[in-house]
Structure formats: C-alpha cells, structure tokens
Chain A
Amino acid sequence: MRIVGLLFALGGWLIAMSGLFMTTSNMGRGLFACVGIIVSIAGSLGFINKFYQAQAIWKK
C-alpha cells in the first residue's frame, strides 16, 4: 500500500509535467497540473495514510 501511494504521489507529478509537452495552451497545462496534484494527494493522504491508519495504536 505504501509503495502504491508513493507511485501515485510521483505519478501525479509526472502527469503535471507531461502537460508541458502535451499542449502549449495554459488552460491545458493547468488542467494537467490540477489532475496531477489530485493524484499526488490521493497517493499520500489516501493510500499511504490508509496503510498507517490500519495499524494505528488506537485501533489495537
């Protein structure tokens, strides 16, 4: 789960960066960046946090 989260976090950045090459319009690049940001957040606060929450001491 942690590895998946890391891949999502880094993948989000790659999505944002790919916009620089896929289009020259500011709107398009902005959309790529926003999607990338959401994917990165899903990786960190979604997958990685979920992994640690599953082991949280208050659940034991």
Chain B
Amino acid sequence: MNSLKIKLQILLAFMGIIVLVQFSTPLMAVEEKTQVAVVPAPVNLTDKDLTGITGPNKDDITAKGDPGAEMTGTVNDVTIADAKKGLTLADMANQIGQNKIAINFVWTLICGFLVMFMQAGFAMVETGLIRAKNANHTMMMNFMVYGLGLFAYWVCGFAIQMGGCGPIANLGGAYPLNAEKVVNLFGKPWGVFGTKGFFLSGSTYDVSVMVMFLFQMVFMDTTTTIVTGSCAERWKYSAFCVSTLGLGAIIYPLFGNWAWGCGWLSQLGVNFGLGHGYCDFAGSGVVHSVGGITALAAAMIIGPRIGKYNRDGSPNAIPGHDLTYVLLGCFILSFGWFGFNPGSTLGASGNGALRIGSVAVNTMLAGCTGGFAALFYMWLRYGKPDASMAGNGLLAGLVAITAPSGFVTPLASAVIGWVGGILVCLGVEYFDRVAKIDDPVGAMSVHGINGLWGVLAVGLFADGRSNYGGSWNGVSGNVTGLFYGDAGQLVAQLIGIATLLGVVFSISFVWNWVIDIVIGQRVNAKTELAGLDIPEMGAVAYPDFQLKASEYGVSESSYESATVKN
C-alpha cells in the first residue's frame, strides 16, 4: 500500500513539474527580440504589364511531354474572362482567389473524408470491447449510424445547426447560410437555431455550403456513434434507430448552433464581455461531450447488462472478445483525428490556416500523453499495463485536445492529454463502482468527461497567440485563457459546460425516455443472454466459430427477474 502511495506521489510530482513549466512559459517569453519587418515598396501594375507574357508552346508539350513539370501550371492555365482583351490583372486576381478557395475546399474535404473513416475506428473499438455473441449487432449499429445520422442531418440537422453561420471567409463565403432565429431576451440577442439549408435546397445548393455540409455531417456522425458504445449488448435495434435520428436531427444540431452556428454561446463575448464567447475549436464539447452526455442519459435508462453487477452491487469485469480490434480501431481513430482537429481551420490558406501544423502536432502530443497516463495509472494501480485502458487513454487525450488544439502550445497539449488519460481511468472506475452505470466501452468517460475537460482547458491554457484573422466569434484579438490573463474566457467555457450538463442532458434524457415508453429501449432478458446477433439481426458475426458462453455472475433467479421491458 505504501509503495503504491509513493508511486502515486511520484506521478503527481511529475504532473506538477509539467504544470509549473507551463505556467512559466509566458514569463520566459518576455525576453523575445523584436524584429522590424521590411515592407517592400508598392509596384503599380497595369494590364499593359501583362501583355507579352506567354506560356510554353503547347506543341512542345504535345510532342515531348513534360516529365520535369516545367511547362505544366503556367500562365496558360489562368482563366481569361475576355479573349479579346487577353490576360488582365482582374484575371490574375480572380485566379489567386479561386486558388485560395480551391486549396481550402480540398483541405476541408480531405479532412472530412478522414473524419468519416473514424466510423471504422469506432466500429472496431466498440465491437472489440463487447462479447462475440453481440458482434454483428454492435457492428451494425456502428454501420447504420452513418446513414441514419446523415439522413437526419440532411433533412433538418444541418439547417438547424449552420443555417445562420455565414459568412465563412475560408470557404469563399457560404453566403446563403444567413438565417438565424434570434430571440431578444433581457435586452440581448440570443441566436437559437438556423433556418436555412433544409434538404440543402434553394440557395443553399451552393459549392461552399456543400463543403461545409460534408465536414459538419461527419462530425455529427461521430457524436451519434458514441452512444452505441455505452448502450451496447442490450439496446433494441429499433430503439437505437429512432434515438440516433433524434440526436442527428435535433439534439446535436441545437448545441452545434449555439457553439458554432453564431448561436448565443458563441456570442457570450460580444453580449456579455466574456472573452471570445464559448470557444470549441474542433468539438470537445460540441461533438464529444454531447455524445458522452447522451450516452449517459441512454445508459441510465437502459440499465446495466445482466451479470455486470452482483447482488451486493459489486461489479464484474466483462472482457471484450477481441483486443486486436480495439487497438487497431484506436489507431484508425488517431489517424482520423488529423482530419478532425487540423481540418477545423476550414482551410490551409488564409485567416490563420497555416496553424494546421501546430494543430496537428498538438493533437498527436495529447494522444501520446493520454495513452501514457492511462497506461501508467493502470500499471501502478493494478500491477499490469492494461491494453484497453491504454487505448482509451489515447482517445481521452485526443478528445481533450479537440477543443483547445487551435489555441494552445504543444507543452499545454501534453499536459491536457496527460490529465485526460488520468481522468478516463478515474471516470471508468466512478461509473463502474460508484454510479453503477454500465458502459461497456467507457464512452462516457472518454467522450463525456474528457470532452468537458477539453472545453475547460481552453479557458485555462489558450495562449492568446493563435491569430485566426484577427478575431474570433466577433471579438477582436486572440483567444486567451486564465493562465494568460483572461478570466472571462474561463467563465464562458464554464457556461458552456453548464449548458451541456443542464440542457443537452435534459433533452437527451427526455428523448430517450419517450423512446423507452413508446418502443422500449432494452431487449428482453432471453435475447440478451442468448446474444443479440440472432434474435435482433438474424445472423451471427462469426458463424464458423463455436462461441464460449460466459455468463458473469448470472443465476437462474437473475435471469427470471431480468425482465425489464420484455
């Protein structure tokens, strides 16, 4: 026991040193030398200066090809508006503008594709952490969450969330997204939801809007897939479908609007002088906390799996059936996170978008320290490095850095990730042993708790040096946290956390409660004990294998009494 205490003290001391170094960073930065920028003298160009500029001869390229890329991508490729006038300055300026937006479109789309691939990671992590008899059911929840969420988001989710978010400079405007429902209360405007973009129809049939839709849609899908993990192994498939539709159509978009769609949370800075309003760079709160908190509400209603708890309330470990799935899934998620966070600049050119490298490095550092922290915590506490918790620690670090990734230093990222790794271990133990809410994959701890920690971390660690076009959420200057002098930013983040725990939880709970009354959330006990694959899906995931029945702590009496919502 004493040696455990000593080990924990060493661990805490190490964390303390990291925090001290972090605090001292602004003091060390005072000595920086200032450099005088050399401004070149202006050059007065006219259209005449462009006459005579010719590209390579097309016949040469036709005859010889261009293996050295010396004749490809020249003035010949600049679009000319009027062939009679020839190349003009306006043509050049338009081409530059289009190039910038093209770069940003490609960047945002590719990042969106990476985030979409995270669905595969989630599917593998969740399926690996449950028993083989439920593998088809869990995989199919993760598979269909993509389509269900996409459909709901296309019908109305996107309009509610982003219908009033424009203009978006990095994506060429997205000007049609200009209708936000605003309620005036207590002398302040409160943006509540957007009203344009239903079915992507009308003026929202627009190239910028399409890019925005794809990127936002895959974020929403991440939220919906979090819930399937917490409710795995006992969730009725029909209830899952309805629950997911509501989350994708209403619950997620509402909070998304308040935070990202020019809603009231984002305007706390403008209306109440709280820093730059609620700031969530890539979605620790919007994506992960909303998912984690909805998972909490649903898991409470559904109840623990049969055999998870003994009659005295002590929990049983129910190991997953494939750790290789879990860790491979974690790797896929880590890879996808490079789309999640750096992609949230919505561009690689203009308005601070060159910080994509910084955001990417912050992301990988936090994942690294999160994985370390969880690994060491479990090693010290239980004597073995636990693989699934190491994976969850990695994800916890990534979740925690998602909101601050665009606003903090690499050192702060490492600290945020480390704390996230510890929090996920404590969270899993709390839900398992104290709250007795069964969460087969630890989603509430990974996404719920660490999402909230990430939101809070912005208010603490934002260093005030991340320049995204000179302002954020309509407030000039850069996002600055408490440790760098802006207590108001921390308050804005706390209001965001209160909204997640108060409003988002309540809506999610009521929605899932109604589903429980109308459809019933939980499968019957017989189905649960047999495994959900055959009764719910009609096929097992591994038909060629003989599955070993392992009923942890399940007696005949508990089988008979476990008849919730038969």
Point out residues on A near B: beta carbons under 8 Å.
Answer: 2, 6, 9-17, 20-21, 24, 26-27, 29-30, 33-34, 36-37, 40-41, 44-45, 48-49, 52-53, 55-60
B564 touches which one: A10, A44, A53, A57 (CB < 8 A)?
Answer: A57
Q: Is the interface of B mostly helix, strand, loop or mixed?
A: helix
Query: Hey, which chain A residues are within 8 Å of B300, CB to CB?
Result: 44, 48-49, 52
Assess whether B561 is interfacial by the CB under 8 Å rule.
yes
In the complex, the answer to whether A49 meets B510 with C-beta atoms within 8 Å is: no
Assess whether B499 is interfacial by the CB under 8 Å rule.
yes
Assess whether B215 is interfacial by the CB under 8 Å rule.
no
Assess whether B558 is interfacial by the CB under 8 Å rule.
yes
Q: How far is the CA of A50 from the CA of B562 in the complex (A)?
A: 18
Query: Hey, which chain A residues are within 8 Å of B494, CB to CB?
Result: 16, 30, 33-34, 37
A60 touches which one: B274, B488, B497, B561 (CB < 8 A)?
Answer: B561
In the complex, the answer to whether A40 meets B498 with C-beta atoms within 8 Å is: yes
Q: How far is the CA of A56 from the CA of B563 in the complex (A)?
A: 11
B309 smallest CB distance to A (angstroms)? 4
In the complex, the answer to whether B436 meets A53 with C-beta atoms within 8 Å is: yes
Assess whether B308 is interfacial by the CB under 8 Å rule.
yes
Known: A29-B491, A33-B491, A48-B300. 4 other contacts (CB 8 A): A10-B506, A33-B497, A44-B300, A57-B562
B235 smallest CB distance to A (angstroms)? 15
Query: Hey, which chain A residues are within 8 Å of B304, CB to CB?
Result: 56-58
Query: Hey, which chain B residues are within 8 Å of A29, CB to CB?
Result: 274, 491, 495
Assess whether B313 is interfacial by the CB under 8 Å rule.
yes
Q: Is the interface of A mostly helix, strand, loop or mixed?
A: helix
Select the residue from B268, B308, B488, B509 with max chain A CB neighbours within 10 A.
B509
A9 touches which one: B301, B437, B505 (CB < 8 A)?
Answer: B505
Task: Name the residue on A nearest B264 (C-beta).
Answer: A17
Compute the total of residue contacts between A and B using a CB distance below 8 Å: 106
Point out residues on B near A: beta carbons under 8 Å.
Answer: 186, 268, 272-274, 296-297, 300-301, 303-304, 306, 308-311, 313, 435-437, 487-488, 490-491, 494-495, 497-499, 501-503, 505-506, 509-510, 513, 525, 558, 561-562, 564
Query: Hey, which chain A residues are within 8 Å of B311, CB to CB?
Result: 58-59
Query: Hey, which chain B residues are within 8 Å of A59, CB to CB?
Result: 311
A40 smallest CB distance to B (angstroms)? 4
Query: Hey, which chain B residues are within 8 Å of A57, CB to CB?
Result: 303-304, 306, 525, 558, 561-562, 564
In the complex, the answer to whether B303 meets A52 with C-beta atoms within 8 Å is: yes
In the complex, the answer to whether A30 meets B487 with C-beta atoms within 8 Å is: yes
A45 touches which one: B301, B435, B487, B491 (CB < 8 A)?
Answer: B435
Task: Name the residue on B nearest A14 (C-beta).
Answer: B502
18 A-B residue pairings within 8 Å (CB atoms): A6-B506, A13-B499, A16-B502, A17-B495, A20-B268, A26-B274, A26-B490, A29-B274, A37-B494, A40-B498, A44-B297, A44-B501, A44-B509, A48-B509, A52-B300, A55-B303, A57-B564, A58-B304
In the complex, the answer to whether B501 meets A12 with C-beta atoms within 8 Å is: yes
| Top 7 A-B residue pairs of the complex, sorted by shortest distance between their CB atoms | A13-B502, A16-B498, A33-B494, A60-B561, A58-B309, A40-B501, A26-B487
Query: Hey, which chain B residues are within 8 Å of A10, CB to CB?
Result: 502-503, 506
In the complex, the answer to whether A40 meets B303 with C-beta atoms within 8 Å is: no
In the complex, the answer to whether B313 meets A26 with C-beta atoms within 8 Å is: no
Q: How far is the CA of A12 from the CA of B186 in the complex (A)?
A: 19
